[in-house]
Amino acid sequence: MHILLIYDISEDKIRNKVAEACKDFGLKRIQWSAFLGQLNHNRREELMMRISKLLGDNEGNIRLYPICSKDIKLVHEINRV
């Protein structure tokens, strides 16, 4: 299943570690604090447990949205570089 993972993490070091964890799980960075990829249920749980440990007691909000293949095709993007 597709997943979209977004985060607000104030501590730079932790934010970088969370980004590395997302890459380790094969996710692709689509925005500064957003990763997209495909993970099954177990791998989603595993990733969130790893992120939870990385965050510890520090401030942060992390959200992982599973998105089905029908909905992922409806994404609307504006991209100007």
Q: Which helix (H) or strand (E) holds 32?
A: none
Q: Which of residues 38-57 bind its own copies (CB under 8 A)?
A: 44-45, 48, 51-52, 55, 57
| Residue length of the chain | 81
Give the x/- contact pattern for its own copies in 60-79, rule: CB under 8 A: xxxxxxxxx-xxx-xxxxxx
Residue 12 near its own copies by CB under 8 A: no
8 annotated as a binding-site residue: yes
Q: From residue 70, how far is each of 2, 66, 73 by CA, in Å?
A: 10, 12, 6
* CB-nearer residue toward its own copies: 19 or 64: 64
* Residue 38 structure tokens: 């495909």
Q: Report the binding-site residues for Mg(2+).
A: 8
